Amino acid sequence: MKYRTILLFGAPGSGKGTQGKILGSVPNFHHFASGDVFRRLTPETELGRLFLDYSGRGELVPDEPTIRLCREHLEAAARDGRFDPVNDTLVLDGIPRNPNQARLLSPSLDVRLVLYLSCSDMDKMVLRLQRRALKENRLDDADPAVIRKRLEVFEAQSKPVLDYYGPDLRCDIDATQTPIKVSLDILQAVEERLG
Ligand code: ADP
């Protein structure tokens, strides 16, 4: 069975997490953020160590373990009733992050909408990331060199995901607006496309 899915897509600092939590709080939407799941791993596990290693450098964790983790979490959420694959729409945040991940996930996903939180103002995103580093104790956001690397990785490796899904599924949202205006635009797009 394929999960009916909305992708929240955008550069680090574009507000995916904030918006994902809001959309995920609406009945019949289930928010899944790959970064949050990685951060909950402990360094005693092999994948926890792998995550600290790659994210500390601003790089993506390798695809196979990332997809496995995502699958296992969604299956567990479905088993214990937090996610109802028949009635819920899955809101994926932070995954797929390159075209290979999109290919690996394709047997499991029925992607209906790709919401691209676009932000032309790089300085704004860097500022958001630095503020978040202080508030949420996120080491990968504290170092300007790591932030730069993360933005480069987004441009080079993640942006091609937009081409993978094509223009028909894509809806651009201006991420430089206030969070409430971004939410309004997202809800409107979801209502128009999914009803
Ligand atoms: P942001 O939204 O700020 O880019 P995330 O919280 O989504 O950050 O991710 C933090 C880190 O977790 C990434 O830099 C990466 O190392 C790792 N990560 C998260 N999702 C994925 C993914 N789908 N594939 C590979 N690595 C990932």
Nearest atom (ligand 1) to Cα of 150: 14
How confident is the model at residue 80, as a pLDDT? 96
Rounded Cα distance, 98 and 187, in Å: 25
Rounded Cα distance, 147 and 62, in Å: 19
Q: Identify the sign of the CA torsion 173, 179, 185, 186.
A: positive
38 pocket-lining for ligand 1 (C-beta < 6 Å): yes
Nearest atom (ligand 1) to Cα of 140: 14
> Looking at the DSSP assignment, which residues form a beta bridge with residue 91?
6, 31
> What's the pLDDT tens digit per position in 66-111?
999 999 999 999 999 999 999 999 999 999 999 999 999 999 999 9
**In this structure, which residue's CA is closest to atom 5 in ligand 1?**
35
HSE, side-chain direction, 13 A CA sphere, residue 183? 13
Please enumerate, as own/partner, the contacts of 139-145 that have beta carbons within 8 Å and a separation of 24 or more.
139/56, 140/55, 140/56, 140/58, 141/12, 145/58
Per-residue tens of pLDDT for the chain, all 195 residues: 899 999 999 999 899 999 999 999 999 999 999 999 999 999 999 999 999 999 999 999 999 999 999 999 999 999 999 999 999 999 999 999 999 999 999 999 999 999 999 998 888 888 888 888 887 777 777 788 888 899 999 999 999 999 999 999 999 999 999 999 999 999 999 999 997
State the first-to-last Cα distance of the chain, in angstroms, to the nearest integer. Answer: 21
Stated as kind and residue range, the H or E segment containing 170 is strand 170-174
- Show Cβ contacts of residue 53 under 8 Å, excluding neighbours closer than 6 positions: none
Nearest atom (ligand 1) to Cα of 34: 20
How confident is the model at residue 173, as a pLDDT? 98
Rounded Cα distance, 120 and 71, in Å: 32
Mean pLDDT of the chain: 94
Q: Identify the sign of the CA torsion 10, 13, 18, 21.
A: positive
Residues 92 and 108: beta-carbon distance below 8 Å: no
Question: 60 C-alpha to center of ligand 1: Å?
Answer: 6
Question: 101 C-alpha to center of ligand 1: Å?
Answer: 13
